[in-house]
Structure 1
């Protein structure tokens, strides 16, 4: 069952989304050579506390931190610790969430640590981020869930191949409904699967977290012995981007973007819905 939100509930999700945006800003600034991933988690904890919000990651299924910190060939669900120290040339995907009055926000981004990155890493991140925005642009009244998957996959497939030979669209993880829980129906694939059909129709009140994960090689992954950390099977590095999006009567609103997604969606000729907190 897909949870359809009222405008008042979407406004609460917008509050949670802006806390997530603040976490992103603070952890992006803190992701420098010499910082540990625990340092980043400490930064996120402070932001959540300063906003009077709650963490939706901490304790989720036993997860021990407030953010996921996924470095280099870690795709998703990396656990912050004091031993993982960022080095010049690393990339890190930071996934963060927050709860305000029972309503959830969730988003992720890929950051570059220091300098000296190969051009294909910048392109990997760009392709992953832009595929997310292509998916967000497909969140329109009358579309179905598969149209979002099609937009994400289509964007990635149209890009020139990297030096490694291909982009791997991670198969075992994807987007999800969000609202009164962090993970809800429907599950969103980042590619089209005939087995899944068209999925639900997108209507006002529909909210979803769109999160492509792309590697410089395989689409296959494995989970480490901590039961959380997900790595690529071939050791190629990966990127992860995510935003939570609400569809309203006036159009889409990117709940976890400071500007509600206005600047990026304008590139698609789409006007975002009015910000309920403005």
Structure 2
């Protein structure tokens, strides 16, 4: 896809894929700052608590496809837990964020992982936008998740060891990284790793449109099954054999055929 095609599709909002990603974690771990750094490349020193859910989008090009990333920043406040659970619906990926300088936030990460499993295990196939419908088929496959240790710029005040977080991610079969929204370390990497995993999984489930040799068809499309022609069956009639007769045997050579019998 050329640059002009991508720009045209972006202006017309003709996205090939739309992926929803949720960010969860305790209050004050820097979820909103990670979102701001990824979507707008901004960081505010005057942080404020998220009320309910905030939302941002970013458009990227991946393997010639235009992908719209919808990032939902959920509040870590306890009073919003029941409300935030409804926003897991339809999510394709999640970031579980903790503060590397506050051990309790890492301990809470396991609770947030439990919520993801409880509310976000039934996710749609995330088909291309052209094939998406309101009634989405569901599977029981867990969404793609990454554990993120934020505030890496404060590593000198670390209370959560990297190895502990790595072990948690390994046991849960999730991605892991440490990042800093302040200096942007690994922020884009964290989001794009999730998006790439989702993108590849979706593409694997799509029919592969490859041209078949010496044909005008593509594999993955609805093709007519051409059966080989049936071999023509020719019935061979048994040849009638002439039965010799007494008269024929008695005929003289010069008189054969006079009686019009089969023996001649």
TM-score under structure 2 length normalisation:
0.27
Larger radius of gyration: 2
TM-score under structure 1 length normalisation:
0.26
